[in-house]
Structure 1
Amino acid sequence: MTSTALAPRPARTGKRTARMLGTLRRSAASIDARTPEHRDRAIDGLRALALLAVPIGHWLLGGFHLDGEGALRNASPLSSFEFFAPMSWVLQMLGIFFLVGGYASVLSYRRSMARGESSGRWLRGRVARLGRPVLGVTAVWAAALPVLYALGVPGTTLHSGATLVIQPLWFVGVYTVITALTPLCVRAAERLGAWAAAPLLASVAVVDFLRYGPFADAMPSWLSILNILPGWMFAYQLGVSWGEKKLGKRGAWLLLVGGTALFALLLIAFHYPASMVGVPGEARTNSHPPSLLVLALAAAQSGAAILLRDRIGKLLRRPALWAPVVIVNLSAMTILCWHQTAMFGAATVGSFIGPIGGLTTAPETLGWIAARIAWLPVFAGLLVALGAWARRFEAPWAVGSKAARVRRVAAGLLAAGFAVFALGLA
């Protein structure tokens, strides 16, 4: 009787699975059919890959631990496991992101100029698309902080979360400044071709020599700040030259081989830190601001991306692979702005339960690594849920109405207040 009653269930489950897979295939085919023929799928694929590396990197290389008062404090497995450092070489894909950003920006800029639009109008449109989601996440956090505190979330926990959320947002500010310099990058590419990025590399090399070389003790502490703009602009300029057809496969091979050789030389002979992200307690860091090692990695990644472009484009002709790329690109800023909130949300709930492996325990054991990997689908699910709601912040603002202006001013004030709290200025 029991076996007879249970027998049909696998069949019903199989049918539901088949229907679900059929729905997914039809959705993927629909997305593929609506994609314009001229769309550069390889560029979108590279952007999606670089975007997904951000949350995966932060979720794997960041963690928490509970202090004696039950509050969450930020921690990193890199402090305990040096073998994690090579993982950061793969997950640090901002070089690819800036490369693709420069490529896409110059094409957009050229189209805008062909329509007779001004550089200012083109830039305002780009900045608005970057700024709206940032304003949204920081304003929401500012409004949520007092509510969470009233619900019993410790102030230390809230500060740990706010620090995590604001860390990736530095990228948006730097990217905005570099985007504003696109006309200069175009002129540099016209005059120097692919070599337009060489002075940026040289500038970072000089600053690194001064801050790490024999005269380091006599150098001011602020000297490293000089690397911020040329360090992140290097790959963007390569992307502009690529978009202007000034950088081809020969240059790509030079970037791949030369970047790889320079990367190895800096690690082995000049003892640069192996991790591409900051390690708590370490005096030197590669990414804040970028060191020459970051540019070497960006050069190698850029060369590989250019060489693999055609293969990636052909691969993404498959609807099942192309559909996720479209979804990720449509939610790019939402992913960037909210992925830390997803991890923090899970950890905050866990902190009220107690020590939970991979979530609220210190990242000091191999067991933590296995547990953290198991938590990744949970973080991803929370990000999808958050993103479904937060994507509204990527939509254009209403213009003209007084209520819309008041909301924008209020959001700006809330965002400023959150930045002050997160940076420890208050």
Structure 2
Amino acid sequence: MGGAQEQGTSSQPGPAGTRDEVLDLVRFFCLALVVVGHSMMGSPVLHPDGTVTTHNTLAEQDWFEPVIWVFMVMPLFFVAGGTTGLQSWQRLKAGGGTAAEFLQARLLRMVRPAAALLAVMFLGLWMAGLLGVHPQVVELMAAGAGMPLWFLAAYLAAQLSIPLLAAFHARSPWLAMGVLAALVVAVDCLRGTLPLLAYANLVFLWCAVQQLGFLAADGRFARLSKSGLLALILAANLLLGLVAALGLYSGNMLVNLNPPNLTLFLLGISQAALIELARPALVPLCSLGWVRTLLRVAGGRSLTVYLWHLPLLVAMSGLLLLTSVPKPAAGTAEWWWSRPVVLLSLLLLLLPAVAAFGRLEDRPTAALQGRRPPAMAVAAAVVVVFTPAAVGAAINGLTLGLLGAGAACFLLALVLLHGVRRPLRTGSAPTATEMSR
């Protein structure tokens, strides 16, 4: 979810110098859906001994499984990120830029907002522990509030691989796609005997979905007829239904999300084709003035909204447990009627958070002047960001200790990156509303 606006207002997929407003609209819809969905999930309960238990009320509904099949939008973020990321890399490369500059831009755009979040979360939860909040509650809040960070890590890993995967794609796009898909299947086949290997698909799976965005950037989906797009959507969903019916994978896309597996790649194929099929209807909508204003304002702070919405929701829920405000039992009619109030309260809390931290999404060029980024400095920043602590958080969940370690690592990465003294090239800035997602 990048922030800087780029030149051009095209709503059609095109060369690397144009904006695809349809993708901006799709990303906005997906982010809104994520925020609304999370507001309907958590149901914490405070017990007399000071501990808290929580469960996912939405996921326990009988109708949830077919609905999440339709509304699992995570692949869409990576498809859109693949399209805009490839175009951004092509612009930078055409202007004489290097892979180190591209990686530097991506790291700064995503790590700055995340570092602020981690630091605030660590300080807030640490103070809560000092004030007597039960340690189990502190760890539960850390784990729940840190859930969006798995996506940030996976998206950043996919984006940082763009220079390498773009070169593979330029030589043989279908071979590149086939190799990544084969790696996904191989990991899925071995995950029963080597459970930890399943988390390798946080890279292989999402890079494969990102390659679908590369194909979209090449215009391959646009060249398909309506019947061809419909056939592709139908085939992907039939294959998805088949592997679920055979028991090879769950039919619940939320279960398939962590760790991710082949079902999300099939869903990504369907969604990439659906975007192209819906494009003729979406282009006129994108031309409306109020829609463009909404996408420009909301899109410029989309990463901040994504990172902060769940921590704020967790904090609000935790504080409400300490009050006498009526708390209906999860899943009851009263609980469902209270969801709009929860959502509205969350949006009101997001306003000051976006005002305070949203500017961290702005293109960070002021301190970067002088020379090309040293490849070793950028490589060191990548290693620092993806430390064993970060991997442990992705696999085992975020704890207060890992939260503090993650904040320190992200801040160290920023020191390494800001030690570089060269302005980022115009072409290196991510597209507006891009998930840095």
TM-score, normalised with respect to structure 1: 0.77
Amino acid at match of 1:131: V
- State how far apart, in whole Å, the 2-side matches of 1:139 and 1:297 are: 35
The farther-off stretch of 72-81 and 323-332 is: 72-81
- State how far apart, in whole Å, the 1-side matches of 2:217 and 2:368 are: 36
- SS class of match (1:286): helix
Return the offset for 1:100: 0.5
2:324 equivalent to 1:324:
no
Contact 2:300–2:361 at 8 Å: present in 1 too? no
What percentage of aligned pairs have identical amino acids? 25
- State how far apart, in whole Å, the 1-side matches of 2:82 and 2:174 are: 13
Of residues 261, 264, 269, the one that matches 1:291 is 261
Return the offset for 1:367: 3.7
Of residues 332, 337, 349, the one that matches 1:382 is 349
Contact 1:66–1:73 at 8 Å: present in 2 too? yes
The farther-off stretch of 241-250 and 103-112 is: 241-250
2:200 equivalent to 1:220:
no
| Superposed counterparts of 1:3-14, under 5 Å | none
C-alpha distance 287-69 of structure 1, shift in aligned 2 (>3 A): same
Contact 2:232–2:273 at 8 Å: present in 1 too? yes
Return the offset for 1:423: 5.2
The farther-off stretch of 68-77 and 330-339 is: 68-77
- State how far apart, in whole Å, the 1-side matches of 2:50 and 2:38 are: 23
Match for residue 304 of structure 1? Answer: 274
Return the offset for 1:397: 7.8
- State how far apart, in whole Å, the 2-side matches of 1:397 and 1:365 are: 51
C-alpha distance 205-345 of structure 1, shift in aligned 2 (>3 A): same
Of residues 208, 213, 224, the one that matches 1:239 is 213
2:246 equivalent to 1:266:
no
Amino acid at match of 1:392: R
Return the offset for 1:35: 7.2
- State how far apart, in whole Å, the 2-side matches of 1:424 and 1:106 are: 32
| Superposed counterparts of 1:104-115, under 5 Å | 104-115=84-95
Match for residue 22 of structure 1? Answer: none
2:327 equivalent to 1:347:
no
- State how far apart, in whole Å, the 2-side matches of 1:253 and 1:186 are: 28
- SS class of match (2:214): helix
Amino acid at match of 1:352: L
Match for residue 116 of structure 1? Answer: 96
| Superposed counterparts of 1:64-83, under 5 Å | 64-78=44-58, 80-83=60-63
The farther-off stretch of 252-261 and 373-382 is: 252-261
Contact 1:98–1:232 at 8 Å: present in 2 too? yes
- SS class of match (2:172): helix
Count how many residue pairs are aligned between Structure 1 and Structure 2: 367
Amino acid at match of 1:340: L
Return the offset for 1:236: 0.5
C-alpha distance 197-422 of structure 1, shift in aligned 2 (>3 A): farther
2:331 equivalent to 1:334:
no
Contact 1:56–1:91 at 8 Å: present in 2 too? no
- State how far apart, in whole Å, the 2-side matches of 1:422 and 1:302 are: 39
- SS class of match (2:45): strand
C-alpha distance 305-198 of structure 1, shift in aligned 2 (>3 A): farther
- State how far apart, in whole Å, the 1-side matches of 2:278 and 2:9 are: 22
Larger relative contact order (Cα-Cα within 8 Å, sequence gap ≥ 6): 2
Return the offset for 1:142: 1.5
- State how far apart, in whole Å, the 2-side matches of 1:260 and 1:274 are: 11
Contact 1:99–1:236 at 8 Å: present in 2 too? yes
Match for residue 140 of structure 1? Answer: 120
| Superposed counterparts of 1:157-196, under 5 Å | 157-193=137-173, 196=176
- In structure 1, stretches of 5+ residues that fail to align are 1-31, 278-284, 402-407
Rg larger in structure: 1
C-alpha distance 304-392 of structure 1, shift in aligned 2 (>3 A): same
Amino acid at match of 1:399: A
- SS class of match (1:164): helix
Return the offset for 1:210: 3.9
| Superposed counterparts of 1:363-382, under 5 Å | 363-382=330-349
- State how far apart, in whole Å, the 2-side matches of 1:143 and 1:424 are: 10
The farther-off stretch of 372-381 and 288-297 is: 372-381
For each residue in 1:257-290, what CA deviation from the matched residue of structure 2 results, as whole angstroms up to 9, or x when unmatched?
222112211232326333222xxxxxxx311111
Return the offset for 1:97: 0.4
C-alpha distance 293-356 of structure 1, shift in aligned 2 (>3 A): farther
Higher helix share: 1
- State how far apart, in whole Å, the 1-side matches of 2:326 and 2:88 are: 48
